[in-house]
Amino acid sequence: MNFTGAHILSIQQFEQADIEAIFNVADAMLPYARRQKATRVLEGAIMGNMFFEPSTRTRVSFGSAFNLLGGNVRETTGFESSAIAKGESLYDTARVLSGYSDVVCMRHPQAGSVGEFAKASRVPVINGGDGSNEHPTQALLDLYTIRKELASNGRDINGARIAMIGDLKYGRTVHSLCKLLNLYKGMRISLVSPKELSMPAELVEMMRENGHQVTVSDELSSSITNVDIAYSTRIQEERFQTREEADLYRGRFRLNQSIYTQFCEPNTVIMHPLPRDSRSEANELDSDLDENPNLAIFRQADNGVIVRMALFAMVLDVVHLVDKHTHDVRWFPGIGR
Ligand code: NCD
């Protein structure tokens, strides 16, 4: 696809070659994310970061990625602090805000809303999560992480064995991830959820039709015995009618070090889009896994910055200019990036 000026709304707009292109640019962004060098390539550009649902990682990493390329970020968070609270339509908001920005990143609770916004926008729009529909940039950073983690164990993405665990009905990260994995071959996907929170049937069908082996289960231990990746997710309580309903499912698939030692292969990589629900009633990934070298959740979150830098550079067509606008890093660059 031609990335220049494109909206990034759904994984379905990509082919495998596009993914490779994004990951190649992401690799080139690593020295900037590690503060080994700095660039001003987007000096003067403005990103509108509009988050109408809670977010830490996605919002801040979009902002950091844009800043690391030298651009400025203007942020709108929550309906109550925007004119949407006065009844303004998405169309009007998009017409206006796209006049103030060079690119807009947006999260919104309604499925399809970011696409609707993009139709009226005069600048590229990147979907930071639209309801339970899609979260394409998360899926990209997840796949980038999966590939890197597998490669460090000498394994390849084609034929990988991946368990997705938790709320597969409302979890937009796993919806986008399934669509992305579907571009590759011979996956063995194990879907683990309460029956009521299973992966939408059309996504399971899509993967099976493409020759992937998909198993569905509501039992954790047998589903994580032979996998390369165990991808845990949070019960998406904001999508339920009541908190009590979400409570029925919280804590059903807890993973801790003793379960890991008993059931997982020694190199099984543990992932989670975060936030993990660490309250005692959920505790989906126990903190006793924090010293486990296969816990990749923080490497995964770090990868969000370079993948999002790559998307900005591609959409704003500056990939070839990033290295031409470098300057020295004059500050203490932190430890162990
Ligand atoms: C996810 C999301 O918002 O969909 N978080 C994220 O963006 N990293 C997952 C979640 O909230 O459970």
Structural contact between residues 45 and 316, judged by C-beta atoms closer than 8 angstroms: yes
Q: Which protein residues touch ligand 1 with a CB less than 6 Å away?
A: 57-58, 129, 135, 138, 172-173, 234, 236, 273-274
Q: Does residue 172 have an active-site annotation?
A: no
135 is catalytic: yes
Q: How far is the CA of 328 from the centre of ligand 1 (A)?
A: 34
3-class DSSP assignment, residue 216 = strand
Convert the pLDDT of each residue in 248-264 to its tens digit: 999 999 999 999 999 99
C-alpha 292: how far from its chain's center?
22
The confidence score (pLDDT) of residue 126 equals 98
- CA of 251 from ligand 1 middle (Å) equals 17
Q: Is the pLDDT of residue 80 over 80?
A: no
What is the total residue count of the chain?
337
Asked whether residue 337 carries a pLDDT value surpassing 90, the answer given is no
Please confirm, yes or no, whether 327 is among the known catalytic residues: no
Active site residue 107: yes
Residue 272 β-bridge partners: none
Ligand 1 atom closest to 274 (CA): 8
CB atoms within 10 A of CB 87: 7
Q: Where are the alpha helices (DSSP H) in the chain?
A: 16-33, 57-68, 90-97, 113-120, 136-152, 172-181, 201-209, 220-223, 243-247, 257-263, 297-315
What is the Å distance from ligand 1's center to 229 Cα? 18
| Residue % of the chain over a pLDDT of 70 | 99
Take atom 1 of ligand 1 and give the residue whose Cα is closest.
273
pLDDT tens for each residue of 208-240: 999 999 999 999 999 999 999 999 999 999 999
Q: Sort 43 into a burial class: Cβ within 10 Å, 0-12 / 13-18 / 19+.
A: exposed
Q: Which residues contact 92 (CB under 8 A, 6 or more apart)?
A: 120
pTM more than 0.95: yes
Is there a catalytic annotation at residue 57?
A: yes
Confidence of residue 86 (pLDDT cuts 50, 70, 90): confident
Q: Which residues pair with 51 in a beta bridge?
A: 77, 107
pLDDT above 80 (res 82): no
Residue 48 token pair = 């509108």
Q: What is the pLDDT of residues 7-55, one digit of tens each?
A: 999 999 999 999 999 999 999 999 999 999 999 999 999 999 999 998 9
If phi > 0 it is left, if psi is from -120 to 50 it is alpha, else beta; for residue 7 that is: beta
Q: Tell me the CA–centroid distance for residue 325 and ligand 1, in Å.
A: 33
Task: Find tokens 């900005």 and name the residue.
Answer: 312
Cα separation, 107 vs 131, in Å, equals 8
Mean of all residue pLDDT scores within the chain: 96
The average pLDDT across 117-124 equals 97
Q: What is the mean pLDDT of residues 147-171?
A: 96
